Amino acid sequence: MLVIVKNNYDSLSLEAAKVVADRLKKKPNLVLGLATGSTPLGLYKELIRMHKYEGLDFSKVTTFNLDEYVSLPPSHDQSYHYFMQNNFFDNINVDPRYIHVPQGMAKDVTQFCDWYEERIKSFGGIDVQVLGIGANGHIAFNEPGSSLGSRTRIKTLTSTTREANRRFFKNDETVPKYAITMGVGTIMNAKELLLVASGNDKADAIKSAVEGPLTAMCPASIIQMHKEAFVIVDKEAGSKLEGTYVDTWETIIFD
């Protein structure tokens, strides 16, 4: 695990974008795992800039998103489909046939989840998986208590996660109760992980994920077991870390 502490949100976004761009240049048909939430927005913005002004090419890329709310159609402005389309896919040259976001409206959720797992495998697995982190230590929608070996499935959202999302919906009742999410085991199968976190409200979660005990009560702590994981945080999110960490990945090569 390589932990990188940057001065601010903008520099953490640039650092994360450099990693993705590097992998994409080396492998034009990269299989890219993507996350929603506000944190990766700066990373997506920088990748869009690189596409527009530096010719970064996504035409052969396949994407798999981590999660989606159950019962929200892709046209709903709070669905993760909508979020990804607006904030990323519409602004790069990815082939729509190779975009995958879990289907929150799937009639047979179990069958869909099995298909999603198989589909990831059929592309040779995810090369780089972008991750955010919830203030309670969740990754994707793997809430505390999620099995560390779990696969893509339906999960009930905790009250803290629903409260955190409340601001995006009209009232309490319309905040989704369930989501389809890649499992912790699915995420761990990605060849590289790229977790980004920003702000003081993520400091405890980052401390537990990076330096705490490995526990299902902080699903993000599984990242300690991954062979090639980046954790890129700003000073606020990294403020509770006790170890000494680097401020760039560029000179570092994994063993």
Active site residues: 67, 136, 138, 143
Question: Where on the chain is the footprint of ligand GLP (CB under 6 A)?
Answer: 35-39, 66-67, 132-134, 140-141, 161
Name the pairing type of β-strands 99-100 and 128-131: unpaired
Identity of the residue, 122 or 159, whose beta carbon is nearer to ligand GLP in the bound complex: 159
Min dist. Cβ of residue 12 to ligand GLP (A): 12
Min dist. Cβ of residue 143 to ligand GLP (A): 9
Min dist. Cβ of residue 25 to ligand GLP (A): 26
**How far is it, in rounded angstroms, from Cα 195 to Cα 184?**
13
Identity of the residue, 60 or 87, whose beta carbon is nearer to ligand GLP in the bound complex: 87
Min dist. Cβ of residue 67 to ligand GLP (A): 5
Identity of the residue, 50 or 195, whose beta carbon is nearer to ligand GLP in the bound complex: 195
DSSP labels, the chain = -EEEEESSHHHHHHHHHHHHHHHHHH-TT-EEEE--SSTTHHHHHHHHHHHHHH----TT-EEEESEEETT--TTSTTSHHHHHHHHTGGGS---GGGEE---TT-SSHHHHHHHHHHHHHHTTS-SEEEE---TTS-BTTB-TT--TT--SEEEEPPHHHHHHHGGGSSSGGGS-SEEEE--HHHHHTSSEEEEEE-SGGGHHHHHHHHHS--BTTBGGGGGGG-SSEEEEEETTTTTT--S--BS-STT----
Min dist. Cβ of residue 237 to ligand GLP (A): 10
Identity of the residue, 4 or 182, whose beta carbon is nearer to ligand GLP in the bound complex: 182
Identity of the residue, 60 or 240, whose beta carbon is nearer to ligand GLP in the bound complex: 240
